[in-house]
Amino acid sequence: MSARILIVDDLPTSVKVLAAKLTSEYYDVITAHDGPTALETVEREKPDLVLLDVMMPGMDGFEVCRRIKGSPGTAHIPVVMVTALNDMRDRVNGLQAGADDFLTKPLNDTMLFARVRSLVRMKRTFDQWYLHQQTSRDLGFDANPDLSQVDGSGAVVTVVDASEIQGGNIRDLLSRDDHKVTVLKTYEDASKTIADDLPDVVVISMDFEGDEPLRLASRLRSTEVTRQVPILLIGDAEDEINLIKGLELGVNDCVVRPVDEQEIVARVRTQVRRKRYQELLQANFQQHLSMALTDGLTGLHNRRYLESHIDGIVRRTGDGTKGVSLMLIDLDHFKRVNDTYGHSAGDEVLKIVANRILRNIRGFDTAARFGGEEFVVAMPDTPLDVAFTVADRIRVKVAEEPVTLPDGSPLSVTLSAGVAESDPKGDTTADLIERADKALYIAKHEGRDMVIKAPPPPGAEADGNGAA
């Protein structure tokens, strides 16, 4: 996973060692050696993650973290504080200053990389919502809500712990922060109860036999209704390997016992604030854009929104690390549907196809009705081959299940699609759409019911062509 990481440390040797480790894992590393420079760099570069030393002359790491998290433009950037001190008070102070995690030197490389990957994934999700918000601002709507103003108390928390004593202790600690806490003692109870009564945060103890905690975490992440619920794992030092596995599975945070009461409260509060902030971003986006930028028939975005949104994504391709793939979809022989069955039947077909498209893309991908029977899907940070696979999956899903018309009769529908990838050396929205349109034309010309990859622009490295 490529990402830009800012290392902040006043000791050149520490910076060099940490930078070498991250570079070996193919991260793009930038550095700063004092607090003021770090703040300037964060504001200018907008890194994906900040690794921040605590002990620095002048402005210490706590103050740097508070300022990063206190600015609406940088509050969503993950901050991991790093120190040679192993004082629990420092950990708590760092978390209370807004840090997303706290690591102690000497760093465990495996745990470090797992933490980094986990937080970068979280940051990428927020990036896509920020991009939606930027599109909203470009179209004259309100700005982002402020993360620093989001409260992290008074949430619904589910604790899963086989030990009645340990579970009760966690419940008592979190209840002091006005959380409503439920303790479940079995894997079976947790699997059903969490899905039925969705909490704001799930805290899972590793004190179960076998791999039940990880199986529960995996199930929560793979189930649609619980996919976005933050998960925190608690384990002993000997559980480190499984805690790392948990982070790779999508767990948001993990804690090693003994757990300080202020630390667990601070970590849960952080997860609650993140969840509530994402919900605010979603609500803000839906509230301001649904009427002006949504196709009234299908519920997808309309062309106006799509073109503005793609403009924002394409502008980010200049660093060569972030681009967009775009699929242009057209229903085959749609005019015959309207002519034979009437426009109400045609409208039903469009609505059902739009729904099938949405069910087969990611939450932060953007689907739009481009006009008539044409649809477009923009997929940020997605290579051409992956977009082609998704487009072909949509093609199969549409073709394999007939559409039920208003009179109850079935109608077989197929689609053709062209897929194109933005050029990191420079591209425009019009260029990208044009290449996808040319690929779509080939699909139509060669028999329909297929997906075609657009060739790369002149001068770009060939990526091959394919059809299904």
Q: What is the tens place of the pLDDT at every residue in 85-99? A: 667 778 888 888 899
Per CATH, domain 150-287 is 3.40.50.2300:
yes
Q: What homologous superfamily is domain 303-453 in, according to CATH?
A: Reverse transcriptase/Diguanylate cyclase domain (3.30.70.270)
Whether residue 465 is predicted with pLDDT greater than 80 in this model: the reply is no
What torsion do the CA atoms of 74, 80, 86, 92 make, to the nearest 10 degrees? 50
| Marked catalytic residue, from 212, 348, 373, 421 | 373
Mean pLDDT of 270-293: 80
Q: For residue 460, what pLDDT band results from cuts at 50, 70 and 90? A: low
Q: For residue 406, what pLDDT band results from cuts at 50, 70 and 90? A: confident
Q: How many helices (H) and strands (E) does the chain have?
A: 15, 17
From 142-146, 174-178, 415-419, the region with the lowest mean pLDDT: 142-146
**Where along the chain do the CATH 3.40.50.2300 domains lie?**
4-138, 150-287
Give pLDDT, residue 144.
62
Say if CB 217 and CB 236 are below 8 A apart: no
From 3-17, 257-271, 297-311, the region with the lowest mean pLDDT: 297-311
Give pLDDT, residue 134.
72
Tell me which residue has tokens 């940051």: 123
Q: What is the tens place of the pLDDT at every residue in 195-207? A: 888 999 999 999 8
Give pLDDT, residue 50.
97
Give pLDDT, residue 464.
42
What torsion do the CA atoms of 179, 149, 381, 422 make, to the nearest 10 degrees? 160
Most confident residue range from 107-111, 422-426, 449-453: 449-453
Looking at the DSSP bridge assignments, the partners of residue 410 are 404
Whether residue 285 is predicted with pLDDT greater than 80 in this model: the reply is no
For residue 74, CA distances in Å to 1, 32, 48, 49, 136 come to 21, 16, 10, 11, 18
Q: What is the tens place of the pLDDT at every residue in 342-373? A: 999 999 999 999 999 999 998 888 899 998 99
Say which residues have a Cβ less than 8 Å from residue 368's Cβ, sequence separation at least 6: 295, 300, 301, 302, 303, 305, 306, 375, 376, 377, 378
Residue 341 CB: number of other CB atoms within 10 A?
17
Looking at the DSSP bridge assignments, the partners of residue 375 are 329, 369
Q: Phi and psi for 2 in degrees, rounded to 5?
A: -75, 135
Closest CA to 379 of 403, 362, 392: 362
Whether residue 422 is predicted with pLDDT greater than 70 in this model: the reply is yes
Give pLDDT, residue 462.
46
Q: For residue 104, what pLDDT band results from cuts at 50, 70 and 90? A: confident
Give pLDDT, residue 260.
86
Average pLDDT value for the chain: 88
Q: What is the tens place of the pLDDT at every residue in 52-76? A: 999 898 999 999 999 999 988 898 8
Token pair of 216 as six digits: 């529960």
Mean pLDDT of 301-323: 71
CATH class for the domain made up of 4-138:
alpha beta
Give pLDDT, residue 402.
93
Give pLDDT, residue 459.
63
Mean pLDDT of 126-146: 71
Q: For residue 468, what pLDDT band results from cuts at 50, 70 and 90? A: very low
**Where along the chain do the CATH 3.30.70.270 domains lie?**
303-453
Coil vs helix vs strand at 139: coil
Give pLDDT, residue 141.
66
373 carries an active-site annotation: yes
Percentage of the chain beyond pLDDT 90 is: 59
The pTM of the full predicted model, rounded to 2 decimals, is 0.63
For residue 276, CA distances in Å to 118, 224, 225, 241 come to 19, 18, 16, 30
Give pLDDT, residue 456.
81
- Residue with the bigger pLDDT between 74 and 281: it is 74
Mean pLDDT of 262-273: 92
Instruction: Give the Cα separation of 333 and 340 in Å (integer).
Output: 11
Q: What is the tens place of the pLDDT at every residue in 334-346? A: 999 999 999 999 9
Q: Which one-letter DSSP state was computed for residue 375?
A: E
- Residue with the bigger pLDDT between 388 and 371: it is 388
Instruction: Give the Cα separation of 305 and 307 in Å (integer).
Output: 6
